[in-house]
Amino acid sequence: MDDYTSNLWKFYIASILSGFAVFYNGVDTLFFRHFDLTFEQMGFLVSAGLTAVLVFEIPTGSFADIYGKKASILIGSFFSLIGLGFLAFGSHFVAFAIGFVLMGIGRAFRSGAENALLYDWLSSVEKQHDYTKHQSRLQAAFVAIDIISGSVGFLLFGLNVRIPFIISFASMALVIVVQFTLKENHKRESRPENAMRIYVNQIKEGLLIVSRSSIIRWLIGFTLIYSIANLFLGSALNLPFLKEVKGFTTDQLALMGLIWNVIQTISLFFVSHLEKRMGQSISILAIVILTPLLFLGLLLSSNFIVSSVLIGLYYSSMSFREVIIDTYLNTRISSQHRATVLSIASMIISSLAIFILPVLGIIVDRSSLNTGLLLLVVGTLILGALSMIVKRMVDNP
């Protein structure tokens, strides 16, 4: 039990430090605009990172299942550290693109492995039923740092645009130190001469699991819809929309960031309770209904407080979606294939986002920020409704 408590606390400490490792998150679009990047270029930056994820996603997932999830996480964090260095000290599109690619590789190594390691660890002490609770609280610990970056980050950005990125760089170095001390119950299953054959078989088995399970495929598709919408809003649209269209000042944006991050952090503590009360079907339906309504509210509202609350509720719903869908996926995958299948899911999402995000960026450049947000309203409404129809067909073949 002491080992269990000690290791669990390390997950929480790593999550808090990881929050500081994305300290730049609140000001990233303003940072890129400071260096005169267009929305199209910002879309390509995100796509560059997603391309790296796409290329390395499945191989790194299999690497984690075969050679250890902790090793995969550490390698990923190291790549992320170097990528952050390019962002923190770069000044042009090419340097930023290299940083996004390196961070994409890092994400590929960590993707699936972090959640799989937590689920495996809880399973090893017969506490897997607490996964949703701990995963939501870990996210709360991560998001809570946005309360600081959402306010202090803007002030530091005003002093020097690089400071939030330098804080992220230093924090990622500390993340690596903590991750190195995590414990993992893992035995390497292959000898060097059999490594490649086992590696290829691992990938094949993961692909077969996805191809044979209609519910896993549906969960991946559902995640795809809202991940792309969330990526586009967070990476390109949100802050410029609030500043350039709604006319909110930098000081107001700092306070707004504080408000919506407080709402998101508090809501994460109730994810497991809400999911248990509503059940899987109602939880998913709530996401489908709320998402376009919140986008529409943000599009129509010009009130400072109302806009802050709407964004807070939106990010709360996305965190709720991430935690419960992750739980539904983990419970349907065995430990020896968990990171591989989760990586396949992430790869599918990344492969489509690579093409969609630049297109959305071009549409905004050619039209307006209002049009971009309207696309999110219509897109999530139609695709969300279609996803529920497909789910009914999956549940009742």
Domains: count for the chain: 1
* Residue 188: predicted pLDDT: 53
Neighbouring C-beta atoms of residue 199, cutoff 10 Å = 17
Cβ atoms 42, 236 nearer than 8 A: yes
Cβ count within 10 A of residue 344:
24
CATH code for the domain of 176: 1.20.1250.20
Q: What is the pTM of this model?
A: 0.67
For position 1, what pLDDT does the model report? 44
State which residues form the domain around 83. Answer: 2-182+191-395
- What is the structure's pLDDT at 198? 67
Residues of the chain under the 70 pLDDT cut: 1-4, 146-147, 149-151, 185-199, 235-238, 335, 350, 397
Per-residue pLDDT of 266-286, as tens digits, reads: 887 787 778 888 887 888 999
User: 172-199 pLDDT, tens per residue?
Assistant: 999 999 988 887 765 555 444 555 666 6
